[in-house]
Structure 1
Amino acid sequence: MLKFLSGVLLALGMVAGPCAQAASVLFLNPGTTKEAFWVSYSQFMQAAARDLGMDLRIQYSDRVPENIIKQAREALQGHNRPDYLVFVNEQSVAPEVLRLAQGSGVKLFLVNNALTVDQVKLLGARPDKYPDWIGSLVPNDEEGGYLMLKELIRLHPPVAPGQMIDLLAFSGLKVTPSAQLREKGMRRALAEHPQVRLRQLVYGGWTRQRAYEQAKLLFTRYPQTSLVWAANDEMAFGVMQAYVESGGVPGKDALFGAINNSPAALQALLDNRLSVLLGGHFTLGGWALVELHDYDQGVDISQYGGRDRQLPLLQPINRAQAKQLLALGSARNFGVDFHKLSAKGRPASYRYPFSLQILMH
């Protein structure tokens, strides 16, 4: 009888073997379903999950850090735990998520905002202390902030010796690493151009409405403003609205720069309302899934580019690329074969080729 049962179990095991369950991933999206950036971010992840045969769920936190913590607690301590939790260190929530994850068996992956220097010191964030934290992917935020201002200054008409160029800057949230880094890059560019005077930097909270309200006051206070640096597209659109209401023409009387390649931002670049646009980091979640898929298959992802990586995704988008990216919005899987990017079975010299160029055929 026992022999029979073990034979049946063996047969069942053989049947169940090849039908291994798809790896389950939960992404805690810090944004809202109305933000073009975070929606396109989710869509790119969904395309990757479909291609790679992964079970992806996405929860939005509507930019409320308490929601992220609550969602993380439910995912990490509830009954229906995912294999992988992908999250963003938005408003510095990462230490609490790492704490909640201890002993859960859920593997963690950070995207977009890694730990700040202070958090690393505080946590003593060594891989052996958090064995379930398997990696992170972040964009080149500091360089992005720097490149945007450099390009805006390059495009600005020359001024007479002794004359100043007035700049207004709109950053995101003070406690978000990406905002801090973009601002740091902007200040690095500013230091190289003494003819540019930063009139004021304000925190628009990444939102159109807040930036609009701030800009209405600032354009009255600084009517000579001819450069506007905005850390994302939503804020740039709010500032533009205020500028138009004050009688100015974006792209002519003042040059605007922004980050994020939402369809509206790409169109604004084509219409010359935006003079400088950087983008490409909406792909980070999709690239993270390629790495998680490989990890799940037993690949040592640290061999192919490092456990924690910064990708040079933020780059100025020209008008030809803007047209290509707009057309991609309607293409299934964004025209990317995610399987082809896998490191499985690759030589040790292989490096994940994650970049915006993969989308540009």
Structure 2
Amino acid sequence: MDTTILLLLLQDGVVNGVIYALIALSLVLVFTVTRVILIPQGEFVAYGALTLASLEAGTLPGTVPLLLALGAAACVADLAESRHALSARSLLSIAARDLALPALVAGAAALLAPTKPGLGLAIGLTLAIVTPMGAYLHAVAFRPLEKAPVLVLLVAAVGVHLALTGLGLVFFGPEGSRTRPLSEAQLPAGPLVISGQSLWMIGLTLAISLGLWLFFGLTLLGKALRATAVNRLGARLMGIAPALAGRLSFTLAAFIGALSGILVAPLTTVYYDTGFLIGLKGFVAAIMGGLASYPGAAAAAIVVGLVESVSAFEASAYKEVIVFLAIIPVLLWRSARANPVEDEE
């Protein structure tokens, strides 16, 4: 391996790593707030990429009827949750959030999809379609289980993942899709050629990381999420609703997942089940970061990307195995340093 090849591998590793970093950040966010290991995060990635591809092809994405169905199901769940304290104001709020918003987005998609909207408008519409699904999934599948053990939440997450994967096959078929890059610029840098798409990926990842830091540090909602992550009971006693914190964390995770899909779709062909493998690698990075540290998860994601890139060159048939084996030394090290716990809190 000469220097040029090494630099190319490092470049590919960093580009892949920023995508894994976005996934890892969203997984840490959801787990610290709700104790849910969000296995369906990869489906948000696939849905984001394939929805954008459908809009570019001038067809109505299959995620639009799914959004309407999830909104209706969430409306039923919200009405059942607040049935003992239902008022005209809360009823109007639920109807606007769960019924009017999906209907508005679906109407815009039905109107604009046949016209093959420009890239910027298509990306905005894709985010509008996929992002609310996070809150609706939380209301339907996870909020009723918020007091359940972590193992039960994990089983529920696996069930949601399997359901979304099957629906992805129904909506988009087995064929993969790619989208136009955000930028077709090619910038020479010594022996390397850096694509504009790579710069967009790195820049947006840094922007999202900075936005999350400002959100958690400066806004009231961000501080509420931090309080819920530190002490759920204490946050509840201070008037922070766990349902609101969970809904917000799932919404942010769906937004980050959809954006990740939009960023990765120009670089590789995305299939209905592609997101699962991407999500697993983001999960590896989140575990390396302890499922609690945002900087640790982001740094570990870059390491995962570099390991994958070098493994693909040295032993391409075993690159996935090598990436997932890398988590074992980290788990052993954390296990050796952890204090023994007799019962789950």
For Structure 1 versus Structure 2, the TM-score category normalised by the shorter chain is under 0.3
Q: Mark the structure with the bigger radius of gyration.
A: 1
Comparing both structures, which one devotes a greater share of its residues to helix?
A: 2
Length-normalised TM-score, structure 2: 0.27
* Larger RCO (CA within 8 A; separation ≥ 6): 2
Q: Which has the higher strand share?
A: 1
**TM-score normalised according to structure 1 size:** 0.26
